[in-house]
Structure 1
């Protein structure tokens, strides 16, 4: 079985180490895995495409051309639309951060408030607004983009990410921010091993089941009373925080999932 791992050129450079891990895992499994970084260069003969981009339209195009994608295009669409993620959580009856689409600072009901672009990632297009002036700055900076508003929820600048292979949580980390309220590992935050509660695992499994996903990250905010709220779904999900803090070889688990599904 021969497949393709698809990244954008700039992301392939950033993720060179993980790409190497994936190729080594494919070799151990007896499969071929080729890196492709150009949209039109995915060979028709590829048995599968490990899709590592945030581009639902391209994912749909590849599926329409007959390729088996890991993850499916629908997973990519929902995970990269924070409002669609919120709607999915409501549909599944999961505790989640209250979310509204907002088009102007006048629509924000109270402060502090958190504003996010709907399709941003990595915490770079997220801001905590203390007043209307902060909100106005965010709207000006992201003019023409779709924006959501959420109440600021105190979580100690920490969240939990569950790494899901199919409906199984194969690992989890607690991410704690080093500066401000964002916990993203790529922004300098700290990651530590974490044992998720049964409730978190059940919620993440319910999401994975609904999406029919292969490999996603599910992020929860931790509440002072011990509860949790779904925050975001990640596809493609970065795994450096997992393999930096555990013995889980996520590349092997991904290749096992692909082999099982391709049967």
Structure 2
């Protein structure tokens, strides 16, 4: 049975990174005889009515057997699920990944090693972060520490704080924004690991390093090299993805003070081109193989 899929990316973002991801998945699916169509999320509108749920914008084409989401449009992902379509990753996994506070709560609940984190209370933009709150952060985490916004990409919403003046200023600058205070892992300054999880295995991994920034993101100027993860690093990455319910995820690990890895972030729609250029491994092939296998198992279970 040849399965038909949709690949969805955000049509409003500048640049072509997400379209590039969609095309890699599309080409990999084609090689496996699975026909796919690429859509921008703003080409598919969720129709809600007392008599039905529907998707507008896909012409007369049938609804797909599966959808691959290179986007964070949680409502569209959930609409597809309500229509009986298997979405990779699920709307729940995307939601947990997109909200880093929710991710860390899941990690902590499963006792997965991570930096110590304190969640800033919800304060509206007209309020202020009191000194009592920042005092707790300093007492628990010391300096330097990290302030990290709950929503953000490419390391752009992560700030290294070195003193009380910076702490109070940045915290109140972010009043009205969901954010957290986090332990700074100095042993991992400017370096981390990216492990790309597909199902219960790691398909490829790389080490990222920056000479000029505490963040190792490639978009922030970091370099990359192939990396062979240890069995424990693989186990940790797979467990981290599973704890947010992600079938596919780019899991970032930090180097802890004693050399043991810590989970930094779980990315539900991690790009794969850099990983290919670094390792020569096309993770899109692993993703499609996994999706078709899961759907085959699901079909077999319904007979």
Name which of 205, 213, 216 aligns with 1:180: 213
Q: What is the DSSP-based 3-state SS (H/G/I as helix, E as strand, rest coil) of the residue aligned with 2:278?
A: coil
Aligned-residue offset at 1:61: 2.6
Does 1:74 find its partner at 2:92?
Answer: yes
Does 1:35 find its partner at 2:68?
Answer: no
Q: What is the match of residue 204 of structure 2?
A: 171
Q: Could you tell me how far apart the structure 2 residues matched to 1:11 and 1:92 are?
A: 36
Q: Could you tell me how far apart the structure 1 residues matched to 2:150 and 2:268 are?
A: 14
Aligned-residue offset at 1:44: 5.3
Aligned-residue offset at 1:117: 0.8
Gaps of 5+ in 2: 46-56, 122-128, 297-303
Q: Could you tell me how far apart the structure 1 residues matched to 2:36 and 2:164 are?
A: 50
Q: Is the 8 A contact 2:96 2:102 kept in 1?
A: yes
Q: Could you tell me how far apart the structure 2 residues matched to 1:182 and 1:208 are?
A: 21
Q: What is the match of residue 19 of structure 1?
A: 22
Q: What is the DSSP-based 3-state SS (H/G/I as helix, E as strand, rest coil) of the residue aligned with 1:244?
A: helix
Aligned-residue offset at 1:19: 2.8
Q: Could you tell me how far apart the structure 2 residues matched to 1:150 and 1:197 are?
A: 26
| Correspondence 1:181-260 to 2 at 5 A | 181-260=214-293
Q: Is the 8 A contact 2:145 2:161 kept in 1?
A: yes
Aligned-residue offset at 1:212: 4.1
Q: Deviations over 1:144-180 (max 9, x none)?
A: 2101110211113111111001010111111112422
Q: What is the match of residue 45 of structure 1?
A: 63
Q: Is the 8 A contact 2:107 2:243 kept in 1?
A: no
Name which of 99, 115, 132 aligns with 2:164: 132
Aligned-residue offset at 1:116: 0.9
Aligned-residue offset at 1:191: 1.1
Does 1:100 find its partner at 2:118?
Answer: yes
Q: CA RMSD in A?
A: 2.0
Q: Could you tell me how far apart the structure 2 residues matched to 1:35 and 1:137 are?
A: 44
Structure with greater Cα Rg? 2
If the length of structure 2 is used for normalisation, what is the TM-score? 0.80
Q: What is the DSSP-based 3-state SS (H/G/I as helix, E as strand, rest coil) of the residue aligned with 1:248?
A: coil
Q: Could you tell me how far apart the structure 2 residues matched to 1:152 and 1:211 are?
A: 23
Q: What is the match of residue 6 of structure 2?
A: 4
Q: Is the 8 A contact 1:112 1:152 kept in 2?
A: yes
Q: Could you tell me how far apart the structure 1 residues matched to 2:257 and 2:117 are?
A: 20
Q: Which moved more, 1:172-181 or 1:38-47?
A: 38-47
**CA distance 1:31–1:124, change in 2 (3 Å):** same
Q: What is the DSSP-based 3-state SS (H/G/I as helix, E as strand, rest coil) of the residue aligned with 2:271?
A: coil
If the length of structure 1 is used for normalisation, what is the TM-score? 0.92
Q: Could you tell me how far apart the structure 2 residues matched to 1:60 and 1:11 are?
A: 25
Q: Could you tell me how far apart the structure 2 residues matched to 1:234 and 1:79 are?
A: 6
Does 1:117 find its partner at 2:149?
Answer: yes
